[in-house]
């Protein structure tokens, strides 16, 4: 199937008084129509900046997309003007964020806020907008949508707010939904509800999903493809089956090993990855993971390893994979 979106060698930098921070440094991936890509990494690895770059929502200054291309159904989003980009946002590509409280405006009702998106993009009248809003709230399974439409965000629980955000994001039937840590702020039982809801809606509406998360468990359950990011680069990519069954990059292996096992796989000690993520202003030469890597050798400091396919469809950026 054709790719819905192709990100090619994306580079996004922030120009700070201390110097250029290359938050996203040559990231490439593609997502097929209706597919789910899980983008995984720890704080500061550049996964959120990647998603904001796709939406062209990087605050500038200090940020700037300095290179690469983002093809959406063949059109390079980076070459569109503001007006054209506005038509893409919401209509074609939509986004939900981690914190459903700060992403909703506290002084407007949820109906108002969902309606705004519908009115703006679909040009419906007042009555139709309200009807459509209620329909969207019903779609995301909010009980009693006719009265909830007039609630303010503070009157809703965290899970309900995230449902409202999803209703808003999906109100114009986008082809790609970017979900940036959509369940991180939620309790585990509510997280399960929201993940299930996103899955159902994805099947119903046939949209693709870019799921950004630090939680390997969430990715294992939901993603078709997985990309692992470290310090601004994708270090490994592949099908979810391949990544979890045969992780190749030492960072991926380290991440999986540092999780507590359950049931029969309970471990006495966790295999932690030593050290910390390097400062983006002071990256090590060569491979950025080398000073935390158990396999590091001379060559790792000399030249940066490039993504190459050791296995079909499973590229990894490491001299000593597997």
Partner 1 sequence: MSLLEIRDLKKHFPVGEGLFSRNKGAVKAVDGVSLTVEEGETLGIVGESGCGKSTLGRTILRLIEPTSGEVVFQGKNLVAMSQRELREMRRQMQIIFQDPYASLNPRMRVGDIVGEGLEIHKLAKGKAKRDRVMELLHQVGLREDHYGRYPHEFSGGQRQRIGIARALAVNPKFIVADEPVSSLDVSIQAQIINLLQELQEKMHLTYFFISHDLRVVEHISHRVAIMYLGKVVEIAKSETIYQDAKHPYTRALLSAVPMPDISQRKEHVILQGDVPSPVHPPPGCAFHPRCAYREAICDKTEPPLDFAADGHGVACHVFGPIKRA
Residues near partner 1, by CB under 8 A: 42-43, 157-160, 187-193, 195-196, 214-221, 240-241, 244-245, 254-256, 258-263, 266-267, 269-274, 276-277
Distance between terminal CA atoms of the chain? 30
Contact, 290 vs 301, CB < 8 A?
yes
Nearer to partner 1, 36 or 94 (CB): 36
Distance CA 107, CA 301 (A): 53
Q: How far is the CB of 42 from partner 1 (least distance, A)?
A: 4
Q: How far is the CB of 11 from partner 1 (least distance, A)?
A: 24
Q: How far is the CB of 251 from partner 1 (least distance, A)?
A: 9
Q: How far is the CB of 241 from partner 1 (least distance, A)?
A: 6
Nearer to partner 1, 112 or 257 (CB): 257
How many helices (H) does the chain have, and how many strands (E)?
11, 12
Residues 6+ apart with CB under 8 A from 306: 317
Nearer to partner 1, 270 or 306 (CB): 270
Residues 6+ apart with CB under 8 A from 264: none
Going by the DSSP 8-state scheme, the letter that residue 294 receives in this structure is T
Q: How far is the CB of 195 from partner 1 (least distance, A)?
A: 7
Q: Give the largest CA-CA distance in the chain.
A: 68
Contact, 30 vs 5, CB < 8 A?
yes
Q: How far is the CB of 198 from partner 1 (least distance, A)?
A: 13
CA distances from 257 to 6, 68, 266, 275 (A): 31, 34, 11, 15
Q: How far is the CB of 225 from partner 1 (least distance, A)?
A: 12
Going by the DSSP 8-state scheme, the letter that residue 27 receives in this structure is E
Residues 6+ apart with CB under 8 A from 171: 114, 117, 118, 121, 132, 133, 136
Nearer to partner 1, 50 or 191 (CB): 191
Distance CA 9, CA 130 (A): 42
Contact, 210 vs 97, CB < 8 A?
no
Nearer to partner 1, 56 or 314 (CB): 314
Nearer to partner 1, 160 or 234 (CB): 160
Going by the DSSP 8-state scheme, the letter that residue 275 receives in this structure is S
Q: How far is the CB of 279 from partner 1 (least distance, A)?
A: 10
Nearer to partner 1, 93 or 139 (CB): 139
Nearer to partner 1, 79 or 267 (CB): 267
Distance CA 118, CA 115 (A): 5
């Amino acid at each position: 199937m054709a790719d819905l979106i192709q990100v090619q060698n994306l580079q996004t930098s922030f120009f700070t008084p201390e110097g250029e921070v290359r938050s996203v440094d040559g990231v490439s991936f593609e997502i097929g129509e209706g597919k789910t890509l899980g983008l995984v990494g720890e704080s500061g690895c550049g996964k959120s900046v990647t998603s904001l770059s796709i939406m062209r929502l990087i605050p500038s200054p200090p940020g700037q997309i300095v290179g690469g291309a983002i093809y959406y159904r063949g059109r390079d989003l980076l070459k569109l003007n503001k007006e054209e980009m506005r038509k893409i946002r919401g209509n074609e590509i939509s986004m939900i964020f981690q914190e459903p409280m700060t992403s909703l405006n506290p002084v407007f009702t949820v109906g108002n806020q969902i309606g705004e998106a519908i009115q703006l993009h679909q040009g419906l009248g007042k009555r139709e907008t309200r009807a459509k809003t209620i329909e969207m709230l019903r779609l995301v399974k909010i009980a009693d949508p006719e009265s909830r439409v007039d609630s303010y965000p503070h009157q809703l629980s965290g899970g309900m707010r995230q449902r409202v955000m999803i209703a808003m994001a999906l109100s114009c039937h986008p082809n790609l939904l970017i979900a940036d840590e959509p369940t991180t702020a939620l309790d585990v039982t509510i997280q399960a509800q929201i993940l299930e809801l996103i899955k159902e809606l994805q099947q119903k509406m046939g949209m693709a999903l870019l799921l950004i998360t630090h939680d390997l468990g969430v990715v294992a359950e939901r993603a078709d493809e997985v990309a692992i990011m470290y310090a601004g680069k994708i270090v490994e990519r592949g099908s979810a089956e391949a990544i979890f069954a045969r992780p190749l990059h030492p960072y991926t292996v380290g991440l999986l090993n540092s999780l507590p096992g359950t049931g029969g796989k309970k471990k006495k000690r966790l295999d932690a990855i030593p050290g910390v993520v390097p400062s983006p202003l002071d990256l090590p030469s060569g491979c950025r993971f080398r000073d935390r890597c158990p396999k590091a050798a001379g060559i790792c400091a000399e030249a940066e390893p490039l993504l190459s396919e050791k296995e079909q469809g499973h590229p990894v950026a490491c001299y000593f994979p597997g």
